[in-house]
Structure 1
Amino acid sequence: MSADPSSLSELSRLSRPQALSEEISARLASRIAAGEFAPGDRLPTEKTLAEAFGVSRPVVREAIARLRTDGLVETRQGAGAFVAAASRKPRLRFEPAATAPLAGKAAGAAASADADAAALREIFELRAMLEPVVAGLAARRAEAGHLATLKSSLDEMDAALATGRNAARADDAFHNALAAATGNRHVMQLMDFLGAHFSGTREVAWRVEGEGAPYSAEAQAEHHALYDAVAAGAADAARDRSLAHVRGVAARAGITLPADLGDFPLSPSGDHP
């Protein structure tokens, strides 16, 4: 059963830009607690929620991520967010407040001007610490199905770039597929959760207006290099290219990461497990 989107119509527009995702998650949580959304109900779509609250879709993703880590909802690939059973326990807590300004503004002017530089730096530092390790492990363990999913997301981004469309969602899918290729369910859960917070940085890379167009082309070239390394089973190369990608996106957002961040060997034996 799907929750009725009309029940959101009386919501006033939000007025605290620095805490949009927190306020949305709190309002939805109160409705779940009141029984307006019952266990098993599908929440309204991102688009419906974004329109109801007067915010961007990345902000809604932040709110859903918060509900998910509080154990209130679960997400299903391609199906949306569903109210979880009452017995479900909260999992990892990761405050989204620092990423909300970026998520809400990524489609606007330059990120270096619109978003808090310290918050941006923290997001990119976290990506630089985690994503290369995931990429290296994916290169060692990826099977044909994983590579097909990665290639599909890569092709979708290519098509979007060629037609001037934003493909941040396909970008998210690409990185989620890398996590899936590790075969480690905890890695998948962590990266799926953090992906909601990383979406804002990917929106920056995929802006297609004005100065954003070459940025998107550079980001996509980095994706191709990363895919090639994973497909070849080259773990160290995948790690290096993943780190180069994060550094590239950060630099294009006006953020310079420390030179030694993420600079550690994947294993003493390099590409060989």
Structure 2
Amino acid sequence: SSIYASQTGRPSYPLLTLFRGLLLGVWYRLSDVQLSQCLYRDLLFRKFCHLELGGDVPEASTLGRFRSQLVEHDLWERLLGEINRQLEAKNIILTEGRINIIDATPIEAAQSGSGKGKDGEPKRDKDAGWHVKKNSRGVLKPTYGYSVHTGVDEDGFIQRQTVTAGNLHDSVERDTLLLGDEDALYADAAYSSQEIRDKLERFDIADQVQRKGYRNKPLSAEDSKRNDEIAVIRAGGERPFATYKSRYGLARTRFMGLAKNMTTYGIAAIAHNVRKGAKFLTLYGLPDQSSAG
């Protein structure tokens, strides 16, 4: 079915215009209202979105409806795949010999308090859940919200992503993030199990998952050293989360419900890869086709 709400009435804005608008909203941390205002007065915003000088611009409600259509048709994953395919075609993303670094981070829900609405029902986001994780000081910190799970390559391009309720363990989405053709899988000890070791061996993928100790069976000195070596590369998997939270203002969800947040963070992943690809081109230009990959 068409992503357009109606086949009648005034002409719709091109889908690419609306999509580019959402990317600008992520990069500049803009609400739909703020984005619409910037499209009206900022010539560079107009140029990026292919809007004519002096012409109409999408209103906030139009941008919101377009995002809702992306949610309804579950299109973000296909869009991320297409963006990555184009980056691969230009040898900006290299697939030969690539690694996969998987990780997850908690995101606080927009409605995480215990209050109730006028109807007596809890205002808390029903699709979210409690996530408990140690902070940098080793103190357990509970967060009511979601978990964003990503798989990135060594250059920081996001290859796979998903969002779950915060109460689900990180390892639940392990298979979703696996590509199947990576040379090596890097992950922290939360993903460590005999099952994953056996699976990686079947797929001939190098096991770079950190080991964890157990009660009455602490880590050996050899495993501790191995974990330290893996941590150097595995740390690259946390950089997209820092971008989401500090640069894009997505440390807290903006919408209620799993589907909407899946799309919101999916658009953020696309914005992340497009920006990284553009930076790559600015610094290095297009790779030599004969020598790349």
TM-score, normalised by the number of residues in structure 2:
0.26
Larger helix share, 1 or 2: 1
Larger strand share, 1 or 2: 2
TM-score, normalised by the number of residues in structure 1:
0.27
